[in-house]
Chain A
Amino acid sequence: MSAADVLTLLAGGAAGCQGALLGIGGGVLLVPLLQVGMGLSFREAAGVSLIGVLATSSSVATDAEGRRPLNVRLAIVLLIFSVSGATFGAAVLHQMGERTYERIFGVTAGLIALAMLQRIDKRNIVSTPDFDPGALGARFFDEETRSDVAYRVRRLPIAAAVSVGAGMLASFVGVGGGIFIVPALNSWCGVPLRAAAATSAFMIGVTAVPGALTHYAGGYLHDFRLAACAALGVVIGYQIGVWLSPRSPIRGLKLLMAVILSGVAIQYLFLR
């Protein structure tokens, strides 16, 4: 294996760990590394990254029931919007310049990082047993408070709008969209971070499918060796992230997410 293969494997490991902890596919790590570090074109990097995102989501799909507070119904409702956005994004992939997509991505990441920092100490869960979570809310056992908690989904149109945007960006820039969906669900829609991460992790693989197929059909996914290294790294890194997840404090996870988003925003707005 070459140094590039090993580096991609390690980046895939970090991406998989991120996927288990924060519900994001790790495309924000893989795309810059593959583009800047390995010299791939943006489209090629996006194609390889989407395979990594699919590996993250596939790893999530094998999780034991009850280990993560996945909200299937909320995921399915939001998938209508994110997959529509991804399908539309895949259809118009070549209509705008790559720099335009990068600027949109950077601005959105910066705004969500600010929202995340603003609500860093706010919890979205209620411990009272008679709390009505509504049709899309849920109950789960919270590891941090060691009790059964419930939450209700608020401002669904905002989550739907963010999902459309996340889906389009998934096709445009090779990320699963979790980096936008998780903060939006947590900060604006009342979904606790662990539930938002589990729900997003379920969604990102499905959202990545139209983009991955478009990059394959367009000839941008021809380096299967790098894609294999990324996917294998993700599968291993995901297991490490699952082990770390109940041992990581919510505040720390939110800070980590805000730092990652700020780094992405700076990179795409000022360093390219």
Chain B
Amino acid sequence: MTPAPDLTTSAIWRTRRLASRIGLAAATVLLVTGLAIVMFGRAPSSVPVLAWACALLVSIPILNVAAVLAEEIRRRDWRFAAAAGVVVLLLVYSVVTRVLMGQ
């Protein structure tokens, strides 16, 4: 049986990590900024800042799965590409039904 290739050394995976780092850094800056606004007594103004930080934290795992999908398509390993595609579709379903449609 062919052993599983190490996906974590590819260019797509490195790009994914860089994007995740930027996303987490931006989320951390927004979290600190939002909490600083709260400390200065302007709590209502902090809500959109903190909401954007939370939205970034939600988007990073989705980005990870999308990167796995792209990498498996590049390798033409359709079994694992299909598996990653199913996970992406389930996540898209959650975003559409819960946030966009408000269910």
Question: Measuring CB to CB, which residues of chain A are less than 8 angstroms from any residue of chain B?
Answer: 1, 5, 51, 54-55, 57-59, 61-66, 70-73, 76-77, 79-80, 83-84, 87, 90, 132-139, 202, 205-206, 208-210, 212-214, 216-217, 221, 224-225, 227-229, 231-232, 235
Contact = CB atoms under 8 A, between A and B. Distances in A.
Interface string B21-56: 101100110011011001100010011001101100
Nearest to B63: A61
B94 A90 contact: yes
Contacts of A134: 1, 3-4
Contacts of A138: 3-4, 6
Contacts of B83: 76-77, 79-80
Given A62-B17, A225-B35, A135 B94 contact: no
Contact of A213 (B28, B50, B72, B98): B98
Q: Which of A73, A80, A138, A216 has the most CB of B within 10 A?
A: A73
A73 B8 CA distance: 11
A128 to B, nearest CB: 14
Contacts of B57: 51, 54-55, 58, 231
Given A72-B68, A83-B87, 13 more contacts: A51-B54, A61-B20, A65-B14, A70-B8, A76-B80, A79-B87, A132-B3, A133-B3, A206-B61, A210-B91, A213-B98, A216-B99, A224-B50
A79 B39 CA distance: 39
A212 B58 contact: yes
A1 B21 contact: no
Nearest to A236: B28
A67 B16 CA distance: 16
Q: Which of A83, A87, A224, A235 has the most CB of B within 10 A?
A: A224
Contacts of A51: 54, 57
Nearest to B25: A62
A206 B65 contact: yes
Nearest to B23: A58
A133 B38 CA distance: 52
A87 B35 contact: no
A54 B98 contact: no
Q: Is the interface of B mostly helix, strand, loop or mixed?
A: helix
A61 B3 contact: no
Given A58-B20, A76-B84, A228-B31, A217 B43 contact: no
The 8 closest A-B pairs by CB, nearest first: A205-B61, A224-B50, A213-B98, A61-B20, A210-B94, A54-B57, A58-B60, A206-B61
A215 to B, nearest CB: 9
A62 B84 contact: no
A111 to B, nearest CB: 27
A105 to B, nearest CB: 22
Given A76-B65, A217-B98, A235-B28, A62 B21 contact: yes
Nearest to B30: A228
